[in-house]
């Protein structure tokens, strides 16, 4: 994987990519809130020879800091600029949690470029959310500030993963944030989702993956409703929590591989 970057009006965004081969499918891995591209290390290693692989540190995350403003529309536009830079016209989006929000934001704006969508422990765009759900999401920043930094970070690791590898990965990803930065990022991440949320008809093939032990918010409930309303297939990942692709990479990789194999040939 080679490191590259792209400059935007808000800051510099870093991404990593294999050599792009126009005969291969392209996978764009989009990590979750407060994480970075290393949460997809298992997936990158598994798919980098068979597919073109792109992974980034999303705006305001990981190496893509400082970043003066985080917006889902900007994130989608930056993804588009990266794909244009790489001459990629068809892409399979694989988004974990917030990465699924960004994937859907991209799909709203560039639907013809998306050949497939896989959401891992994410939630749907649309009118799924009650007034109480929306109110709760707006409280995340100030509520998280009530925790001492060490307890906040250890709690996040335990909340998001059940495996030792998953918890260690989460701890490592959030270790570089100050408490203030971490809390603010969670606040604007959820607030930004509420601002960009809209009705979305997913026309491309899609798949929902949900850790059986995911206890983050109402993710499991939203995914059941998402699957029931749209007919999108949902698969429960055993022995996995919110970061299912790190807790159980073997099963997630198999699901991704099976999904790719069922896709029709991509067109330019």
**Chain Cα centroid distance, residue 189:** 12
Give CA torsion, residues 102, 69, 35, 220, to 10 deg: -40
Q: What are phi and psi of 247, to 5 degrees?
A: -65, -40
Q: Kindly report whether the peptide bond that precedes residue 66 is cis, defined as omega within 30 degrees of 0.
A: yes
**In terms of residues, how long is the chain?**
268
Residues 57 and 38: their CA atoms lie apart, in Å, by 9
DSSP characters for 249-262? Answer: HHHHHHHHHHHHHH
Q: Pairing mode, if any, of strands 114-120 and 2-7?
A: unpaired
Q: Please, are residues 109 and 80 in contact by the beta-carbon 8 Å criterion?
A: yes
Q: Please, are residues 121 and 55 in contact by the beta-carbon 8 Å criterion?
A: no
Q: What are phi and psi of 104, to 5 degrees?
A: -70, -35
Q: What are phi and psi of 34, to 5 degrees?
A: 70, 0
* Rg, C-alpha atoms of the chain: 17
Residues 38 and 32: their CA atoms lie apart, in Å, by 11
Q: In 10 A of CB 160, how many CB atoms?
A: 32
Residues 195 and 73: their CA atoms lie apart, in Å, by 10
Q: What is the pLDDT along the chain (268 residues), one digit of tens a residue?
A: 999 999 999 999 999 999 999 999 999 999 999 999 999 999 999 999 999 999 999 999 999 999 999 999 999 999 999 999 999 999 999 999 999 999 999 999 999 999 999 999 999 999 999 999 889 888 888 889 889 999 999 999 999 999 999 999 999 999 999 999 999 998 988 888 899 999 999 999 999 999 999 999 899 999 999 999 999 999 999 999 999 999 999 999 999 999 999 997 765 5
Which pLDDT value is given to residue 190? 86
Separation in Å, CA 232 to CA 203, 207, 264, 268: 10, 6, 17, 25
């Amino acid at each position: 994987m080679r490191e590259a970057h792209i400059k935007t009006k808000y800051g510099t965004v870093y991404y990593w990519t294999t050599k792009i081969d126009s005969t291969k499918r392209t996978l764009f891995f989009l990590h979750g809130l407060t994480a970075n591209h290393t949460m997809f290390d298992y997936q990158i290693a598994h798919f980098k020879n068979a597919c073109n692989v792109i992974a980034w540190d999303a705006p305001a995350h990981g190496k893509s800091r400082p970043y003066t403003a985080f917006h889902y529309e900007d994130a989608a536009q930056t993804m588009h600029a990266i794909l244009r830079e790489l001459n990629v016209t068809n892409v399979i989006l694989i988004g974990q949690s917030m990465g699924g929000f960004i994937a859907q934001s991209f799909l709203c704006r560039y639907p013809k470029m998306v050949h497939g969508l896989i959401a891992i422990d994410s939630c749907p765009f649309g009118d799924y959310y009650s007034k109480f759900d929306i109110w709760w999401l707006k409280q995340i920043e100030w509520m998280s500030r009530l925790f001492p930094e060490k307890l906040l970070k250890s709690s996040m690791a335990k909340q998001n993963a059940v495996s030792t590898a998953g918890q260690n990965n989460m701890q490592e990803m959030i270790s570089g944030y100050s408490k203030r930065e971490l809390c603010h990022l969670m606040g604007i991440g959820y607030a930004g989702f509420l601002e960009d949320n809209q009705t979305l008809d997913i026309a491309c093939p899609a798949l929902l993956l949900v850790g059986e032990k995911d206890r983050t918010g109402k993710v499991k409930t939203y995914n059941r409703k998402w699957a029931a309303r749209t007919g999108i297939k949902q698969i429960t990942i055993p022995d996995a929590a919110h970061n299912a692709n790190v807790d159980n990479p073997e099963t997630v990789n198999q699901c991704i591989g099976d999904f790719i194999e069922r896709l029709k040939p991509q067109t330019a």
